Chain A
Amino acid sequence: MTLEKKENSYSICVGPVHPALKEPVKLNMEIDGEKVIGVDFELSQVHRGIEWAATRRNPLQVLFLAERICGICNMCHMLSFSRAIETIGDIHAPPRAEYIRVIGAELERIHSHILWAGVAAHELGFDSLMHYTWKLRENVLDTIEYITGNRITKGLITIGGVRHDIPEKKIPRILESVNFYYSHFDKMAKVFLNDPVIKSRTRDVGILSRRDALTTCAVGPTARASGVKKDVRKDEAYAAYQDFDVEPILPDAYTGEIHGDVYDRVLVRLLEVKQSAEIIEKAVKSMPKGPIAWEEKPAVILAKLKPLVGEGIGRHEAPRGEVIHYVKLVGEESPYSWKVRAPTYNNMMPWVPMLMGEQIADIPIIAASIDPCMSCTNRAVSADKTTTMYTMDQLRRLSFLKTRELKRGLGK
């Protein structure tokens, strides 16, 4: 992947701070004229050390730490971590809880895909469409807030169940939201799939062949748009997904052909919004009765989890693709090891075949077409460049000083 210099070529770096990127990643491009002839990427711009921190916390605390890995698809990390622990302890969430998990996960998918659609429109310089899609997204966020009390970090899942029930009286609001997306789907599809300018900017741009998708281990919509039938919801049929017969959506369902280009990735995500709405509708209408958690008291959960020994994997199909968590427990209060693999981690290698030979103008939309989520992907302990290291108290004191200084400047 190291870049080779050619005569007359020059390099451009997109990122770590660039208007096209919503999160820091550095893409180094070797450019000849307007054509990309070399691709390399550098991570390491977000340092958080979450995995390390987890080895000093008990599983219930880690659960909420996991939720904070990603600002968009946070539920998928909670769910994957819970499932990993549940596998080790042979714990089974009650059916009603599994249904609520599915509803939560699918609501999250709708909001994440629509958010992405807006970003994609912005990358193409079509801001009107961005504002339109983000307006549509508000509806699902309101619904999520109505169910869980929060727009984004839902805190819905606990080990062996869920933390909030969805009572009967809240169901009409969810159905209303589902209908809202049914009724707006056609308009969105019309704009994204038939607008001539958008089509000319996305069709046959950033092609990822099926073979490349397989060898670079692509996951989620990125892989499906290239024709790889891969969807954890079907392959593992975990939680309540067995009841909904989820089929992986490939672009040929709509256009009859698979190009593996940006257009197909847009298409797959749009169709998945509809699919999610259908799953939610079915799930809400056929929710079984019963308890919502294997054990409700946190102290009891912790006591039962503490003696567990073993290792487990939890997987979930997040909006961007497969999330996989590996947890090793050794009978102590905290996990011995925890490994988080977010979908962007696997979807970065496909960038190389996608970007090769494309124009500079297409770099942003291609880079965005995998829906990159850098905070999910980066991991490291906090390090600093100089020898000075500030403690929490020192930082707090510094911020007090700064505030005081600013106040003086304002004449107060």
Chain B
Amino acid sequence: MKAQEVLAGLKKEFGAAIRDATIQKNENNMKKKTVAERIWFHIGRKQLHDAVAYLCKKYPDPHFAVCSGYDLGKEIDILYHFTVNYGVRASEITITMHVLLPKKDAVVDTITDLIPGAIISEREMQEMLGIKVKNIPDGRRLFLDPSFPRGVYPWRKDETGPHKLIRNVHGGDSK
């Protein structure tokens, strides 16, 4: 299985919802060459759930690695990292889906109905980036202490960020 085929299949299914698709190749420098292929693309938040469902159907048991995310000013970018085709030598493919959420309406559908293990990541995204995951089965705090102030999101870079809480550590604002 090649990353090209995987991406083509996804494009065929979701058409224009997939944007900025690229395939990044990470080649090693050894005598026996291996290439780790990474697919990156943006997908609309409405299609995210369908895309994950498609992956689950087409490549049984895709491994959901983690969600990462960051603040882009007006928007929040959430990345869903999957890997498929594991168990075969040097041909695992990493699929990363960017989902852009406007800050004013940062809501995304849960994927825990498809992959129950994603709940830790979804809970983390909720408390770290202040997004809202719709239909999450358990939305309690997980990584932040109960005493951590509400309305402060550690990964935000705007006024709701943690800057006021950090003084003189890690080069934070000293005032």
Contact = CB atoms under 8 A, between A and B. Distances in A.
Given A49-B154, A238-B34, A380 B148 contact: yes
A389 B138 CA distance: 32
Contact of A336 (B70, B148, B149): B70
Contacts of A326: 66, 68, 79, 81
Q: Is the interface of A mostly helix, strand, loop or mixed?
A: loop
Nearest to A326: B68
B65 interface: yes
B64 interface: yes
B70 A56 contact: no
Interface stretch (B10-18, B42-50, B99-107, B159-167): B159-167
Contacts of B85: 235
Identify which of A2, A44, A51 gathers the most chain B CB atoms within 10 Å of its CB: A44
Interface in A254-288: none
Contact of B28 (A238, A315, A384): A238
A243 B30 CA distance: 8
Interface string A78-97: 00000100110000111100
B94 A313 contact: yes
B87 A391 contact: no
B147 A95 contact: no
Interface string B106-144: 000000000111111000000010000000011011111
Contacts of A87: 24, 26, 38
A234 B86 CA distance: 9
Given A92-B28, A349-B120, A236 B34 contact: yes
B36 A349 contact: no
B68 A339 contact: yes
B30 A229 contact: no
B90 A44 contact: no
A380 B154 contact: yes
Given A229-B86, A383-B149, A93 B29 contact: yes
B165 A382 contact: yes
Contact of A52 (B26, B28, B86, B155): B155
A72 B26 CA distance: 28
Nearest to B33: A242
B119 A383 contact: no
Interface stretch (A175-183, A188-196, A211-219, A297-305): A211-219
A98 interface: yes
Interface stretch (A139-147, A340-348, A360-368, A401-409): A340-348
A242 B65 contact: no
A56 B171 contact: yes
Contacts of B1: none
Interface in A367-398: 378-385, 389, 391-393
Interface in B55-77: 61, 63-66, 68-70
24 contacts: A45-B145, A52-B170, A92-B27, A95-B31, A98-B30, A217-B65, A217-B115, A219-B63, A229-B86, A235-B86, A235-B87, A235-B89, A235-B91, A237-B34, A240-B30, A243-B30, A243-B32, A313-B81, A346-B66, A349-B116, A379-B143, A381-B165, A389-B165, A392-B169
Given A214-B61, A381-B162, 16 more contacts: A1-B137, A98-B30, A217-B64, A219-B63, A238-B26, A242-B30, A324-B81, A326-B68, A328-B70, A336-B70, A346-B65, A349-B117, A380-B148, A382-B165, A382-B169, A389-B167
